[in-house]
Chain A
Amino acid sequence: MDPVKRVTGRMAPLDRADVDTDQIIPKQFLKRIERTGYGPFLFYDWRGGADFALDRPEHKGASVLVTGANFGCGSSREHAPWAIRDAGYRAIVAPSFADIFRANCYKTGLLAVTLPDSQVRHLIDLASEDPAARITVDLEAQEVRGEGFAYRFHIDAFARECLLGGLDEIALVERHEPSIAAYETRRAAWLPTVK
C-alpha cells in the first residue's frame, strides 16, 4: 500500500445519515474477482436521481466525500471502499462510521475521518455553497483544514502509523511468528479442526 499523509482537494457532499454498503456498491457488482474497477458502480441505484449531489458537474473530480453519521453500515464488503477509491475519493469525513467499513477503509488507503456533527455540517454546507472550496485532510497533523478553519480529529494510533508508512500489515504480523508459534503450542488439543 502506498503511504497516505494528506489529501487536498474539493469536497462532494452526500447529506444523508446511515448510508449502507448496499447503496455504496449494490450486490450485483460483488461478483467480480478483481480488487479494482468498481468506480462506475458507486451508488449505482442513486445515480441519475435529481437530488443526488455527487452527480453534479461542480462536484466532479472531488477527492473528499463529506457525509452523515453511521456511514458504511451493513455488510463487510470491502468492495465499498474499493468503489469509493476507484471513483477518485481519497478521504471520507463523517460524524461516525460503521466499524467494519472504517477498518476496510484503512486497509484500502482511504482516510476515514470522524468530526463532530457541527463541523461535518459546516463542511457539507461549504461544499454545497462553494463547490470550488478546497480542504486538506492531514493525517500527520490529525487536522481537517480549509480557509478560516482547522478541525482536529482523533484516529487510532496504529491505523495512522500503518497509513502514514504504507505498511504491509501481513508483514507486520509475520514479524511476530515466534509468538504465533508459541501460542499454537498452548492451544487445547481438543479444539476442532475442519479435517
Chain B
Amino acid sequence: MLTIGGGLWLYLGHKIPASALGNVGVPMAMTLAQKLWDAHVVRSAPGEPDLLYVDLHLVHEVTSPQAFEGLRLSGRRVRRPDLTLATMDHNVPTRGGARAADELSRKQMEVLAENCRREGIPLHQIGSRRQGIVHVIGPELGLTQPGMLIVCGDSHTSTHGAFGALAFGIGTSEVELVLATQCLPQTRALDLAVTVDGELPLGVTAKDVVLGLIGRTGISLGQGHLVEYRGSTIRGLSMEGRMTICNMSIEWGAKAGMVAPDDTTFAYLERRPHAPRGSSWNVAVDRWRSLATDADAVFDREIRLDAGTLEPHITWGTNPGQVAPVTGRVPEPRSDTDARALRYMDLRPGTALADIAIDRVFIGSCTNARLEDLRAAARVIAGKQVHPKVRAMVVPGSTTVKRAAEDEGLDAIFKAAGFEWRSAGCSMCLGMNPDILAPGERCASTSNRNFEGRQGAGGRTHLMSPPMAAAAAVTGHLVDVRELL
C-alpha cells in the first residue's frame, strides 16, 4: 500500500489469471466492469480489440453532424435508430428559445433535426417537454439501465455508470461507426476500485467526495481504467449523488466510472417511462442483482478514501485536481502548471479561499443540475438574498427537472432570492450558448471543469457543490456552507 494523500491509499494489486486457479469449472470471480464488458462482446480475436455491442447511443448537436455527413457520403444508414436518442443541449439558449441562438448554433440544431428526421431517430429538441442535457434525460427517462453499454460523443457519458452500466465518451468518428454498425471495437481496460467508507460529515456532498478524490489522485491517474466506486459511503448515496461522482470520472482521466446496482437503483428506475414492466421487471432486477463484483474478485488497482475526513471542497486553479478544502488557503505553486494557474486565476498563495470575492454563480450542468441538487441549493438560499454584486443563475438539467422543481416551488425560492431561473441546457458549463463569463469575471460553479476560458474567454471558474455555490451567491465570496446551515 502506498499513501498518496491524507486518508487515501493506493494499492497496486496483481490479477490472478484464471488458469492459475486450478479448479477448472469453478467460475473466476469477476468485477462489475468485467461482467459488463463480457456481456457485450460480439466478437473476440487474438491481437484485435473486442467488438462490443452498444445498447444505447446518445446523440447531441455538437459532435454528431460530421458523423451523419460521413454516413451520407459513404451511402450508409443508421443501423439501430431504435437504440439511438438525440437531444439538443450544448448550445441551446436558456431563454428566448431557438431564435435567441446565434446563426451557427441554430444551423447546428437544424442539421441535427434534419439528420434525425432522415434516419428516424427520436429527438428531444429545444422547446419540447423532454429536452435536456443528454446525461440527465437518459436516466430520468429510464433508458439508462444497469448492465447496458452506453456511449455518446461526450466525455461526461460516464455519468450513466451510476446505474451499473458501462458508459463512456467517444469521438465523432466513433459516433459514425456506432451509427453505422451499433458496435465499437475496444481494447479491454484495467479495473480500479475506489472504496469510500464512512459517513459524510455535515455539509459534505457527493461533489466533495469526487473533488476530494481528484485532489489526491491528480487528473490523469484514471487513464486506461474502468473505475468502480464502492463502499458504504457510495451505497448510502442517492442516484443523483452517484451520478455526480461517476460524471467526474473523466476529470481524473478514467475511461468509465460505475456503481453496482442495488435497491436504490431499482427504486429510482421503477415505473420510469422506459423501465421494464410487469414480469419483465422481475427478470430484469434478477439480472441486475447478478452484476455486482464478486466477493473475491481482484482489481488491478485500489484506492481507499475515508469519507469522515472530507470537507466541502473548492477548486483554486485551472484543472479539477487543483482543489482544496474550503477551510484552506491558496497553496504555494508546486509546478509550472500551478504557477500558470495562479496567474490565470489572479490568486496569490496564502490567500484564504473563503476570502475570494465572486461575480457570478452558476448552478447547472450534467454534474449537478438534477432535482436533488436544486433542492440542496434552495435550502441554503431560502429566505436569503443574492449578494448585490453577484449575478446568479440556475439552469435545470432538463425540462423535466425544471417542471418538477416548479411543481414544488423551488423556482419561487430562487427567484425571490434574486437568481435567474432558466431553461434546460449545458449553458455556462462550457459557454457554447449566450451564457458566458466576461473576461476576468469569477464564478462559483457547480459544473465539472475549471479549465482556462471554459465558461468564457478570460473567465475564472471555482468548482464546488450546489450548497456551496448557493452559499457563495448569498455572501458574495467563496464561503464554507457549514456557516450558513
Contact = CB atoms under 8 A, between A and B. Distances in A.
A158 B457 contact: no
Interface in B267-295: 274-276, 280, 283-284, 287
Interface in A134-170: 156-158, 169-170
Interface string A10-53: 00000011101011001110111111000000000100000000
Contacts of B122: 194-195
A174 B454 CA distance: 38
A63 interface: no
Given A31-B432, A179-B43, A170 B176 contact: yes
B171 A107 contact: yes
Contact of A33 (B69, B81, B154): B69
A34 B111 CA distance: 11
A133 interface: no
Interface of B: 42-43, 47-49, 51, 53, 55-56, 62-63, 65-66, 69-70, 74, 76, 81-85, 90-91, 102, 104-105, 107-108, 111, 121-122, 142-143, 145, 148, 153-155, 168-174, 176-177, 180-183, 185, 187, 219-220, 223-224, 250, 253, 255, 274-276, 280, 283-284, 287, 319, 335-337, 340, 430-432, 449, 451-454, 457
B108 A22 contact: no
Interface stretch (A66-74, A83-91, A121-129): A66-74
A170 B74 contact: yes
B337 A18 contact: yes
Contacts of B220: 18, 69-70, 73, 96, 98
A99 B224 CA distance: 7
B173 A107 contact: yes
Contact of B66 (A33, A45, A170, A183): A33
Given A35-B69, A183-B42, A78 B430 contact: no
Interface in A71-116: 73-79, 96, 98-100, 103-104, 107-108
Given A100-B250, A104-B172, A194-B122, 7 more contacts: A22-B449, A78-B171, A78-B172, A79-B172, A100-B170, A190-B280, A194-B274
Given A76-B169, A78-B172, A27 B42 contact: no
A138 B253 CA distance: 28
A180 to B, nearest CB: 6
17 contacts: A17-B336, A18-B319, A27-B432, A30-B63, A76-B155, A76-B170, A77-B62, A96-B223, A99-B223, A104-B173, A173-B180, A180-B53, A180-B181, A190-B284, A192-B275, A192-B276, A195-B82
B69 A17 contact: no
Contacts of A103: 170-171, 174
Given A99-B253, A103-B171, A103-B174, A27 B431 contact: yes
Given A18-B219, A31-B105, A73 B62 contact: no
Interface in A173-195: 173-174, 176, 179-180, 183-184, 187-195
B432 A173 contact: no
Contacts, number: 192
A17 B172 CA distance: 25
A170 B337 CA distance: 39
Q: Which of B153, B170, B220 has its CB near the most chain A CB atoms (within 10 A)?
A: B220
B85 to A, nearest CB: 4
B104 A32 contact: yes
A17 B335 contact: yes
A27 to B, nearest CB: 5
B82 A170 contact: no
Nearest to B276: A190
Contacts of B91: 31
A98 B173 contact: no
A4 B108 CA distance: 32
A191 B122 CA distance: 17
Nearest to A173: B181
